[in-house]
Amino acid sequence: MTIISKQARKIGIFTSILTGILTVIFALCAVPFALAAEPTSSCPSNEQMSFNLTKVADNTYVRKGAHELFTPHNLAAISNVSFVIGETSIAVIDSGGSYCDGKRFLSAIRAISQKPISHVINTHVHPDHTFGNQAFKALNPIFIGHENLPRAMRDKSHLYLENLNRLVGEKIMAGTKIVEPSQTIKDTMTINIGGRELRLQAYQTAHTDHDLTVYDPTFKILWTGDLLFQEHTPVIDGSILGWKKVMDQLAKIPAKHVIPGHGGPFLAWPAALKPQQAYLDTLIKDLRRIIEEGGTMREAQTQAGLSQKKSWALFGDFNARNASAAFAELEWE
């Protein structure tokens, strides 16, 4: 009797240990599932939070980005993203700032057209223009970028993703992946999406060292990516002098309207170039004076460009940074 009850106690202890182990194993296995389920719950659908598209011409739509820094509230949707519907397919110009933003963009496209998405064009590497790529990946489009874009992505995108995970939050950024172009452009290229031609052009170093524009000769619309900012303070991540040269080149494009990378979203061309020209000219003039007077980088950051302050959103966030970059460049003139 005693022996039996001892054995029964042993079995009882063994069973509870086994149950404990199984519970832990089950809990550990459930973690990945819980994480995998996260992206859908933290990325609002277009019904929950509207995705505002502006129709700027026949079969031509733009979502205007918010003039904000990256926050969880804006889902990293801070740049303009566009699409053009041809007779046979759709071309997307910039994909948004996160997988979530890209997915919402794709839903907004699908509410208008079911045609295949043949091209996703990235105007440059900045995350607000490329981090939506993954949302289009399964549709197998040709991802197009400047010939320097793959290198820029390898150099910079991992750091951008780390930063955005911190600023926007891992839940909203979940699913965001670095998707490199499958086709690159050294000079020019024309794509045809059926009755509609898009002319792509690669540039020398300006906003970045891999800027790309898209021109639609049918409606005379130009997409500049961040070669043109409106309202939002321009950001120099390439060369201020190079950018000035490229702007002169852009001014010759016979467009009637422009969709900039930030601002607009649909502005008269080439008048829309003027405010940015004034900003860059002011910076150059102020910096050359500071350099001539033997001024320091600190003086450049706190003094250059200040007369432009009232004309631009997020001036405090970008002007000092622009002044540093341009000071370093102009110092060697």
Which residues contribute to the site for Zn ion (CB under 5 A)? 126, 226
Q: Looking at beta carbons only, is 90 or 212 nearer to Zn ion?
A: 212
The span from the CA of 254 to the CA of 213, in Å, is 13
Q: Looking at beta carbons only, is 103 or 129 nearer to Zn ion?
A: 129
Give the shortest CB-179-to-Zn ion separation in angstroms: 17
Q: 199 with 215: CB under 8 angstroms?
A: yes
Give the shortest CB-32-to-Zn ion separation in angstroms: 35
Give the single-character DSSP code of 194: S
The span from the CA of 236 to the CA of 301, in Å, is 14
Give the shortest CB-156-to-Zn ion separation in angstroms: 11
Q: Looking at beta carbons only, is 60 or 233 nearer to Zn ion?
A: 233
Give the shortest CB-146-to-Zn ion separation in angstroms: 13
Burial of 47 (0-12, 13-18, 19+ CB in 10 A): exposed
List, in order, residues 6 or more apart from 172 with CB less than 8 Å away.
Answer: 42, 43, 72, 75, 76, 98, 100
Give the shortest CB-126-to-Zn ion separation in angstroms: 4
Burial of 52 (0-12, 13-18, 19+ CB in 10 A): exposed
Q: Looking at beta carbons only, is 103 or 126 nearer to Zn ion?
A: 126
Q: 59 with 260: CB under 8 angstroms?
A: no
Tokens representing residue 85 in the block: 């519907």
Q: Looking at beta carbons only, is 78 or 300 nearer to Zn ion?
A: 78
Tokens representing residue 254 in the block: 């016979």
Q: Looking at beta carbons only, is 76 or 85 nearer to Zn ion?
A: 76
What phi-psi label fits residue 32: left (phi over 0), alpha (psi between -120 and 50 degrees) or beta? Answer: alpha
Give the shortest CB-79-to-Zn ion separation in angstroms: 7
Give the shortest CB-320-to-Zn ion separation in angstroms: 17
Q: Looking at beta carbons only, is 104 or 126 nearer to Zn ion?
A: 126
The span from the CA of 206 to the CA of 146, in Å, is 13
Total Cβ atoms within 10 A of residue 205: 17
